[in-house]
Amino acid sequence: MNDTRHRVLDALADGPVSGPTLADELDISRSAVWKHVEALRDEGFEIRSDDAGYALDSVPEFGASAVEYGLDAPFSVEYHDSIPSTNARARDLAAEGESDTVVLADEQTGGRGRLDRDWHSPSGGIWLSVLFRPDVPMAHAPVFTLAAAVAVTRAAREAGVEAGIKWPNDVLVRHGDEERKLVGILTEMEGEADRVSWVVVGIGVNANVDPAELPDEANPTSLSTERGEPLDRRLFTQRLLEEFDALRQDTGRVVEAWREYATTLGKRVRVETPGGPIEGEAVDVQFPGALVIETASGTEVVSAGDCEHLRPVSE
Ligand code: BT5
């Protein structure tokens, strides 16, 4: 949304304001005011106009302007009702030189997980990718996956869902012994060893989605299922982006915040790494995101892999 339109909205949110006053305040013509108001109505903002002037009655439920309006983070949002993959679109925008852009969709038709796995993305989810250009070496980029997991966990808890993080990129909800997957994160990047050119952090949140529409073997859940009522996706997306923005600028604090929500630490785990499986007790996580495992033959530090939580062995 352009700047003037933001300012029109801010003025309307404060109560009825007449067209001429608005024109004066924003230093634009009256017909320009009218055009902005019409454009906002087209985007789903309900704007009343009567003798007292214009006033904002309601904000659209979801979409680019809905998320940008009132967002306390410097991202511009591009919204799609349906798109193959927000990560693929964000990569295209990266190639065009963009930054601090969020690609958001209601539905993905070709959502991707890690290692070319499919990510099911029916309508009602929050499927988004954040494109940005941090000034860090490539080796530090995994910290942004952890930051995304922390941000989404905090937003979920504020929405009343006790989410936790399984190393490195799953946000889960526990039901007794069972862990159900609520969110998946896929980070992609490009650059030289000493400097990242761009990072795309893709976050898939099962928001207002029926888990029956998702693959059974993943043991999925959704925010609406956990809450027993639908979620305000606009507010959730804003909280998620605000938390992520704060953490990406303060990466030294990410690991500590991650530990607070980790479900993996203290557990017996089996991690499938490119060099083979590693089994032992997960004891810590280290910057920028490596898992420290005590195995029968010593300490291993693992930077990537699929992690499975095992049942404790009885002594
Ligand atoms: C992930 O992969 O968990 C990363 C998923 C990232 C998705 C986001 S959505 C926005 C952005 N655009 C994209 O195209 N991708 C990102 P992984 O750890 O590999 O888990 C994939 C596995 O999770 C699949 O093999 C399924 O078993 C399971 N799965 C698929 N869809 C699911 C869903 N909606 N909820 C829970 N589990 C799912």
User: Which secondary structure element, helix H or strand E, spans residue 156, and what is its range?
Assistant: helix 142-158
Distance 185 CA to ligand 1 centre (A): 7
**pTM for this structure?**
0.94
Q: How high is the pLDDT of residue 274?
A: 86
Digit-coded pLDDT (tens) for 72-115: 999 999 999 999 999 999 999 999 999 999 999 999 999 999 98
What does the pLDDT profile of the chain (315 residues) look like in tens digits? 678 888 899 899 888 999 999 999 999 999 999 999 999 999 899 999 999 999 999 999 999 999 999 999 999 999 999 999 999 999 999 999 999 999 999 999 999 999 889 999 999 999 999 999 999 999 999 999 999 999 999 999 999 999 999 998 899 999 988 999 999 999 999 999 899 999 999 999 999 999 999 999 989 999 999 999 999 999 999 999 999 999 999 999 999 999 999 999 999 999 999 889 999 999 999 999 999 999 999 999 999 889 999 987 654
* CA–CA distance, 144 with 152 (Å, rounded to integer): 12
- Nearest partner of 199 among 244, 154, 238, judged by Cα: 244
CA of 312 to the centre of ligand 1 (A): 27
Q: What angle do CA 184, 86, 225 make, to 5 degrees?
A: 40
Q: 64-261 maps to which CATH number?
A: 3.30.930.10
Q: Considering only CA atoms, which residue is closest to atom 35 of ligand 1?
A: 220
Work out the number of other CB atoms within 10 angstroms of the CB of residue 203. 28
What single string gives the DSSP state of each residue in 72-111? Answer: -SS-EEEEEEEES-HHHHHHHHHHTT--SEEEEEEEESS-
Closest ligand 1 atom to 125 CA: 34
CA distance 206 to 223: 6
Ligand 1 mean position to 276 CA, how many Å?
23
Q: Which pLDDT value is given to residue 5?
A: 87
- Listed by start position, the domains of the chain span 3-58, 64-261, 267-309
Write down the pLDDT at residue 314. Answer: 59
CATH 1.10.10.10 fits domain 3-58: yes
Whole-number Å distance, alpha carbon 144 to ligand 1 midpoint, is 17
SS3 at position 25:
helix
d(CA 251, CA 287): 9
The pair of three-digit structure tokens given for residue 38, joined into one six-digit string: 């019409």
* Cα 229 to ligand 1 centroid, rounded to whole Å: 23
Enumerate residues lining ligand 1, CB below 6 A.
85-87, 108, 111-115, 117-121, 127-129, 169, 181, 184-186, 202-204, 206, 214-215, 217-218, 220
Check the CA dihedral 48-54-59-64 and report its sign: positive
Region 267-309: CATH code: 2.30.30.100
Alpha-carbon span 21 to 263, nearest angstrom: 55
